[in-house]
Amino acid sequence: MVRAWYMDNEKSDQRLEHHRNPPKFVSLEELFTICGVEYFPINVNTYATDGVLDEIKKKRGYTYEDQITCSKECLPNYEEKLKNFFTEHLHTDEEIRLVVEGSGYFDVRDNNDEWIRIEVVPGDMIAIPSGIYHRFTLDSKNFIKAKRFFIGEPVWTPHNRPADDMECRKQYLQKLSTTGFITA
């Protein structure tokens, strides 16, 4: 089950939870309405046959799928990749991940530019919208295996902050400031 909370401002080990004192948790509804981040619970034991994941893929047009394992042993250029993942950036497309093993943290900026930390564990599928500033880190267990989805040919390019002039950033802010991400 995904959990999310506002981060403290400590610069210590990025792999720690970094709760505020007192902790300030964020609900799934808030994650969606203030940041546009969507969440789908998936059964990692049955997703190959139960149809839930297939339905999401069909509905959202995810035609590309692969798997990434982040660990010292499995990820080429591990240190450099982890450093890049944790550098604040945005993408021109959604970033969709389904955790099948291990765990980690996606951090996203809220509408006041504060960090919200999203803890992901097996069965958590999240869609991080195009244009939102975010980053990723492993937790202290140093291992995650996740499926990645994409509409069409994947574009993984991160655009590091500042990327405020990018069209996807402007569109994201426009959505937030007008209707938000609330859908009928």
Ligand X SMILES: CSCCC(=O)/C(O)=C/O
Q: How many residues does the chain have?
A: 184
Total binding residues for ligand X by CB under 6 A? 9
Q: Quick one: 34 or 163, whose CB is closer to Fe ion?
A: 163
Each residue 48-87 as x (binds ligand X by CB under 6 A) or -, in order, gives: --------------------x-x--------------x--
The residues facing 109 across adjacent strands are 115
Select the residue interacting with ligand X from 94, 95, 107, 139 (CB under 6 A). 95
Structure tokens at 177: 């400031």
Rg of the chain taking only CA atoms, in angstroms: 16
Of all residues in the shown chain, the one whose CB is closest to ligand X is 136
Distance between CA atoms of residues 105 and 4, nearest Å: 9
Among 56, 137, 63, CA closest to 98: 56
Select the residue interacting with ligand X from 146, 150, 169, 172 (CB under 6 A). 146
Among 119, 93, 105, CA closest to 2: 119
- Positions that interact with ligand X (CB under 6 A): 68, 70, 85, 95, 97, 104, 136, 144, 146
